[in-house]
Amino acid sequence: MSAIQKVNLLGLSPEKLIEFFESIGEKKFRATQVMKWIHQKGAESFEEMTDVSKKLRAKLEGICEIRAPEIVEQNISTDGTRKWIIRTEGGKNDCVETVLIPDGDRATLCVSSQVGCSLDCSFCSTGKQGFNRNLTPAEIIGQVWIAIKSFGPMDPNGPRRVTNVVMMGMGEPLMNFEPVVDAMILMMHDNAYGLSKRRVTLSTSGVVPKIYELVKRTDVSLAISLHAPNNPLRDELVPINRKYPIEELLEACQHYLDNLPDKRHITIEYTMMAGVNDQETHARELVGLLKNLECKVNLIPFNPFPHSGYEKPSNNQTRRFQKILADEGYTVTVRTTRGEDIDAACGQLVGDFHDKTRRSQKYIELREVSDQS
Ligand code: SF4
């Protein structure tokens, strides 16, 4: 155990990294140099930073570190999907998942923001395990770092290993606001990962006040986990709706779009559960509900898990639902399956806290979301 708590530079936003260097009496450009070494070249030690003076390297060694979360397991699917179980700083059982889905010339990374979740959506096993802890910025951006490094040495001039990121893994990202914003800023920064703002998407269940804050801080793309076309049903499926009902949520979405510097749409995620929210009346309600919002709809047939209490709708029912929306001019995608072979392996590994159902859905859903870019 070291006598002093070293500062982990991996999770510092560009602004905070500059502040840190200034606080130790170093010039701003040193922060830029170090940021490039960490995020573009994947440096794990200060020794590797050959254009930084030996003296400064020794100084940094004494007071800071570059520490990514520990990889408990990495699995690669036959279809190229990669999945990691990552142990966070909270201890032995504080693990989250990160998944990378390659698709042609793009690869979308699904990033977690919390261990567990407090929002308790009725169809989500992460919600059932309750909230454990928020991830730090280093643990969030560390998932991107780990994914890129899994292909070998990082090369800023080489092919992009991660082209899209969706904050759609475990947890509600807007309930861990500052660390998530810091990490997303790094994802998009030219001296870090340089991803387009259209290719970084935050998915939320509807923490309305934070949507207003988000647009003041960043201009990533936004996805909403809607799952129901009316308040009584959404109150049941997504309990945060009792606090922030659909009308307030859609108003916040419109505000978000209106305050972006460019024209964008919202992605509406709709998990379909047989006999619950998959009827034609629900589709028609959804048509009316979304008529004024610039959006695309992503339908996700529910993937049942033991004791979930919900069933997957038939393909015919899903197609009927999709057609009603499409006939009204909506762009509607239905999820397809990826990475199922490693999904099973991972579920065994992380045992009871593993949100297998939601993950399976999200692996696919994120591909659809990433198509908006
Ligand atoms: S669906 Fe999202 S917000 Fe709802 S309980 Fe699961 S992780 Fe939390």
Mean pLDDT, range 94-111, rounded to an integer: 92
The CATH number of whichever domain residue 51 belongs to comes to: 1.10.150.530
Q: Residues 14-41: pLDDT tens digits?
A: 999 999 999 999 999 999 999 999 999 9
Tell me the C-alpha to C-alpha distance, in Å, between residue 207 and each of 48, 119, 202, 345.
Answer: 42, 10, 12, 33
Q: Are residues 11 and 158 in the same domain?
A: no
Atom of ligand 1 nearest to the CA of 171: 7
Domains of the chain: total: 2
Q: Are residues 61 and 77 in the same domain?
A: no
Nearest one of 373, 365, 318, 357 to 338, comparing CA atoms: 365
Does any domain span residue 2? Answer: no
Q: Is the pLDDT of residue 67 over 50?
A: yes
Query: Are 23 and 122 found together in one domain?
Result: no
Assess whether 280 carries a catalytic annotation. no
Q: Are residues 201 and 53 in the same domain?
A: no
Residue that finishes a domain, picked among 30, 47, 65: 65
pLDDT on residue 208 = 98
Known binding residue 171? Answer is yes
Residue 286 has pLDDT above 60, yes or no: yes
Q: How far apart are CA 309 and CA 277, in angstroms?
A: 14
- Could you tell me which of 202, 203, 184, 180 has the C-alpha nearest to residue 194? 184
Instruction: State residue 337's pLDDT score.
Output: 60
Which range has the worst mean pLDDT, 7-16, 86-95, 320-329, 350-359? 350-359
Interval between CA 120 and ligand 1 midpoint (Å): 6
Q: How confident is the model at residue 338 (pLDDT cuts 50, 70, 90)?
A: low
Same domain? For 162 and 237 the reply is yes
- Residue 271: is its pLDDT beyond 80? yes
| 23 and 79 part of one domain | no
**C-beta of 114 in contact with ligand 1 (< 6 A):** no
- The reported pLDDT for the residue numbered 370 is 47
Q: Which of 95, 97, 253, 365 is catalytic?
A: 97
Return the pLDDT at 340.
62
Task: Indicate whether 1 belongs to any domain.
Answer: no
121 Cβ closer than 6 Å to some ligand 1 atom: yes
Residue nearest atom 5 of ligand 1, based on CA coordinates: 127
Last residue of a domain, one of 19, 44, 65: 65
Residue 93 lies inside a defined structural domain of this protein: yes
Which pLDDT tens digit goes with each residue over 129-187?
A: 889 999 999 999 999 999 999 998 888 888 889 999 999 989 999 999 999 999 999 99
User: Is the same domain home to 157 and 94?
Assistant: yes
pLDDT at res. 353: 37
Per-residue model confidence (pLDDT) at position 345: 27
Please indicate whether residue 97 is annotated as part of the active site: yes
Ligand 1 within 6 A of CB of 164: no
Domain range for residue 104? Answer: 70-372
d(CA 365, CA 303): 12
Residue 205 marked as a ligand binder: no
Average predicted confidence (pLDDT) for the chain: 89
- Count other C-beta atoms under 10 Å from residue 89's C-beta: 14
Burial 324-341 (b: 16+ CB within 10 A, else e): bbeeeebebbbbeebbee
The C-alpha angle with vertex 170 and arms to 166 and 172, in degrees rounded to 5, equals 80
Per the domain annotation, does 75 fall within a domain? Answer: yes
pLDDT for the residue numbered 89: 81
pLDDT in tens, 302-336: 888 778 899 999 999 999 999 999 999 999 999 87
What local confidence, expressed as pLDDT, does residue 319 receive? 97
d(CA 369, CA 264) in angstroms, rounded, equals 13
pLDDT at 62: 96
pLDDT at 127: 80
**356 pLDDT band (50/70/90 cuts)?**
very low
State if residue 115 touches ligand 1 by the CB under 6 angstroms criterion: no
